[in-house]
Amino acid sequence: MLKTLMGAVALSLAASFAMANDFPKQDLQGVIQWGAGGSTDLVMRSVAPHVEKELGRSIVMTNKTGGVGVIATQFVSTQPADGYTLLMSAENPQLYKVMGLSNLDYSNFYPVNVLARGIPVIVANKDAPFNTFKELVEYVQKNPGKVRMGSTGPGGLPSVVGSMLSSKLDFKVTAVPFDGDGPALTAMQGGAVEFMPAVLGAAVEHVKAGRIKILAIFDKQASPVLPDARPITADYPQFESLLPWGPFFGVFVKSETPDDVKAKLVDAFKKGANNEAFQKLLSDRGYVSMNVSGDEANSFLKKWQSTTSWVVYDAGMGKKSPEEFGIPKP
């Protein structure tokens, strides 16, 4: 019996080694959490060609939208832990538990690479009757509940920023959900909503082309990408206690994936993310490059979850206390 057990263990280890040693022997699947044209889609489709060169295989990318990214996250969680299915996602899973959306978060996955973080901005339809954030606040207060704000659903960046705004201001608006900031920005240009919080990287080209207008940078300082845009704290210093804050974008595999496979993916994405063209795209779009994995990425993820979960809960948007899940208060 002992010999049989030892033989089975040896065969299992040999199989794992062979799988890792041959990895990848087929193309990979990249499951993008959000819709085409948004921040997550842009970052992932921009880094993928450089990673493919390192792996020697293609990454077949699919936008699997819905449920603030829950559908994509749950899909990847049901796939084999072999490294061939990548979750290409944003910050949202770190809020699923407090929002009551899913029992999953990034503790169920391994961070192959947290590629970059973004800076939120407040943007508006070019014909909206306000040209600054201060004018927007005044307009909203004169028309409570009537101004439409583009959203990506509960726990998405617009809803989190919206909660932060309403926690410090009399700011009653009506949220209209879309499958990502790309579709929301397109809808805003057509007049479906008057304004929305978005990621600078997804909005900047629309602003420069005059398709939309920027009302404020949701940060303590201006951005070199749009230096004339005022930081929100210029008119409302009460937001300083919440800033800096922003989204992030990363690539994940199931936590049970063999270590050697993880190592190959980490190496490929590290080199791919260091590519000069990708770094230029991040800089030009106003993203902040991170390019971290493993323990360093997990430390960042836990800190982000702690800060944001409590902000969301204290603002009355969370359905469950972070305390229930052992998420410490910062």
Q: What is the mean pLDDT of residues 114-119?
A: 95
CA–CA separation, 256 vs 79, rounded Å? 11
Q: What is the mean pLDDT of residues 260-272?
A: 98
> What does the buried/exposed string (b/e) look like for 68-93 if buried means 16 or more CB atoms within 10 Å of the residue's CB?
bbbbbbebbbeeebbbbbbbbbbbbb
- Does the predicted TM-score (pTM) go above 0.85? no
Tell me what pLDDT residue 19 has: 52
Phi, psi of 18 (to 5 degrees): -65, -40
Q: Is 288 exposed, middle or buried (0-12, 13-18, 19+ CB in 10 A)?
A: middle
Residues 6+ apart with CB under 8 A from 21: 260
Confidence of residue 9 (pLDDT cuts 50, 70, 90): very low
Confidence of residue 144 (pLDDT cuts 50, 70, 90): very high
Tell me what pLDDT residue 3 has: 55
The owner of tokens 């208060």 is 329
The conformational region for residue 139 under phi > 0 = left, psi -120 to 50 = alpha, else beta, is: alpha
pLDDT at 32 over 90: yes
Among residues 185, 177, 43, the alpha carbon closest in space to that of 121 is found at 185
Least trusted range by pLDDT, from 18-22, 188-192, 268-272, 326-330: 18-22
Q: List the alpha helices (DSSP H) in 56-192.
A: 70-77, 96-99, 133-142, 157-168, 181-189
Tell me what pLDDT residue 330 has: 83
pLDDT of 192-213, one tens digit each? 999 999 999 999 999 999 999 9
Q: What is the mean pLDDT of residues 1-12?
A: 51
Confidence of residue 217 (pLDDT cuts 50, 70, 90): very high
Tell me what pLDDT residue 142 has: 98
Starting at the earlier edge strand, list the strands of the sheet with 109-117.
59-63, 28-32, 85-90, 248-254, 109-117, 288-292
pLDDT at 249 over 90: yes
> Of 99 and 179, which is predicted with more confidence?
99
Beta pairing, strands 59-63 & 109-117: unpaired
> Of 119 and 311, which is predicted with more confidence?
119
CA–CA separation, 115 vs 300, rounded Å? 12
Orientation of helix 276-285 relative to helix 200-208, angle to 10°? 70
> Of 136 and 9, which is predicted with more confidence?
136
Q: List the alpha helices (DSSP H) in the chain.
A: 2-22, 39-55, 70-77, 96-99, 133-142, 157-168, 181-189, 200-208, 259-273, 276-285, 294-314
**Spatial contact of 203 and 226, defined as CB atoms under 8 Å apart:** no
CA–CA separation, 76 vs 89, rounded Å? 11
Least trusted range by pLDDT, from 83-92, 148-157, 271-280: 148-157
pLDDT of 43-86, one tens digit each? 999 999 999 999 999 999 999 999 999 999 999 999 999 999 99
Confidence of residue 37 (pLDDT cuts 50, 70, 90): confident
pLDDT at 14 over 60: no
